[in-house]
Amino acid sequence: MARVLVSEKLAEAGLELLRARGHEVDVCLGLTPTELQSAVSDADALIIRSATVVDAQLLDAGVQLQVVGRAGVGLDNVDTAAATSRGILVCNAPESNVVSAAEHSVGLLLALARNLPQAHAALTNGRWERGLWAGTELLHKTVGIVGLGRVGRLVAQRLAGFDVRLLAYDPFVSADSARAINVEMVELDELLSHSDFVTIHLPKNADTVGLFNAERFAKFKPGARLVNAARGGVVVEADLAAAIENGQIGGAALDVFDTEPKTESPLFGRPEVVVTPHLGASTHEAQHRAGVTIAEQVALALDGDFVPFAVNIAAEDASDALRPYLGIGERLGAFLGGLVRGIPDDIEVKVAGEIGGYDRRILVLSVLRGILGRIVSSPVTFVNAFEHAEKMGVLVRDVGSQDAGEFRNLVEVRGGGHSVAGTLVRSGNEPRIVMIDDHSVEVPLADYMLVIRNDDQPGMIGIVGTILGTAGVNISFMGLGRDRRGDHALMALASDEVIADDVLETLNAEPGIRSASLVQLD
């Protein structure tokens, strides 16, 4: 059982999920920074939203922290680099609020085009101003989308029904990908000069802070309108106010600001400006989804499992083709560790076949977790596995190859004078060992594996079977293999239960048997 500290309001469904997994959940809202440092000192996990600042000082106070989870998308308030250096996994819920954010962006754009908030305010204040708040149609207008990620794509799909021309700028998205949703990719300056509306969907980072400044506003089509429901700080608000004042920008709708909460701004009160207090993710559906998603990610991290939405490992880059091999990679690592009876000085992980061309780091991490997990006293995670190996002086080599021999894909691990290789069979659902110590041998990966090296002579299988049968050991599967010279052989047997030490001693004392060792993977 782990202790999970929740410092901001989280959907009850997420809290219940963590409790159902057996974890202690402490919800502590409104803590001061000093109180939070005290509360996190014995926490294994910290779940936050946007208000909690997770800096190096807080991470130092969390001496037991394994994971920080952000119930939302942005991680502006988390020092991810500091967490990584401490072996702490950072994860978020990147898909939890994308629909809500996209819908809010479209809502702001429509409100801006038709002056809805201004007309509403006038009428509720007793003024019938029908002639003052004439708007503009979207029909045949050009909308520029800056950032064609998850939210940007949803915005494009929703705006398509208004019969508008859609332009987009995103250096990480191909023209073919954009064309699939009827969006034309262009450079940023071209987008700005042609768009009647510009909507921003960028993360906040060193490249985007202050991106929309006075110099950038001068490149807008005169009278164009700007929407930002992405991240505060991307727009220089004083420069935007000046651009609206001089008529270069016709209006703006903002949901996010450079500092929050914000109640005073040169933009507030202007008739051309629509503002909302960071409501992009504020729907019941998004909050429920974020709470459940981040609880699932944190639970996986506490179990030491693969976390799909981890941001400080190559989780999102892990190919769908590669992910099924993470489990077998870890068990192959554990198998090699059992053969070596320790930690090798040099470990080579070779990934061959169709998956050999992908980024293989996440699979190498899985192998290291299998090898080191039973020896290192602290948890070995996808974040700190390389760090553990480096501290122990283990050289880790990653090899990729397109040649997997007779197999579609193959994962091979070498170290300490031993080797093991495995693959997935039966439509990729069943892990199978196909090589042990350079002997071609096929056997399922079971919790108890007996590996016997023997002289290649008649009667050896009968001898082994008699000894195990007499001891009441049930063998569920046996694989046989010869070495290349043909004078030695290897048996790999899957057992339903642990094999006693005295049985192993009997096997090792038998003439013709060179060694018999038990590898436990449970």
Alpha-carbon separation of residue 101 from 143, 161, 441, 465, 475 (angstroms): 17, 18, 54, 65, 57
Q: Are strands 224-228 and 197-200 parallel, antiparallel or unpaired?
A: parallel
Radius of gyration, CA atoms only, the chain: 30
Chain centroid, CA 358 distance in Å: 16
- List strands edge to edge, sheet with 89-92: 24-27, 3-6, 45-48, 67-70, 89-92
Tell me if 282 sits within 8 A of 306, measured CB to CB. no
- Asked if 260 is an active-site residue, the reply is yes
CB within 8 Å of 367: residues ≥ 6 apart: 329, 330, 332, 333, 347, 349, 411, 413
**Coil, strand or helix at 94:** coil
User: Among the options 23, 70, 216, 278, which is catalytic?
Assistant: 278
Q: Is 231 a catalytic residue?
A: yes
For residues 402 and 18, what is the distance between their CA atoms, to the nearest angstrom?
A: 41
- Confirm if 381 and 369 have CB atoms less than 8 A apart: yes
Structure tokens at 269: 């009160």
Give the span between the Cα atoms of 136 and 111, in whole angstroms.
Answer: 10
Catalytic residue among 187, 245, 260, 430: 260
3-state secondary structure of 290: helix
The active-site residue, picked from 231, 369, 388, 414, is 231
The answer to whether 92 and 309 have CB atoms below 8 angstroms apart is: yes
Q: How many CB atoms neighbour CB 117 within 10 A?
A: 18
Q: Half-sphere exposure (CA, 13 Å, Cβ side) for 257?
A: 18
Nearest-CA neighbor of 192 among 210, 206, 172, 212? 212
State how far the Cα of 108 lies from the Cα of 127, in Å rounded to an integer. Answer: 23
How far apart (Å, rounded) are the C-alpha atoms in residues 75 and 203? 9
Instruction: Kindly report the length of the chain.
Output: 522
Strand, helix or coil for residue 256: coil
CA atoms within a 13 Å half-sphere pointing along the CA-CB vector of 184? 13
Using CA atoms, how far residue 421 sits from 352, 368, 415, 483, in Å, is: 10, 15, 12, 15
CB–CB of 511/329 below 8 Å?
A: no
**Active site amino acids:** 231, 260, 278
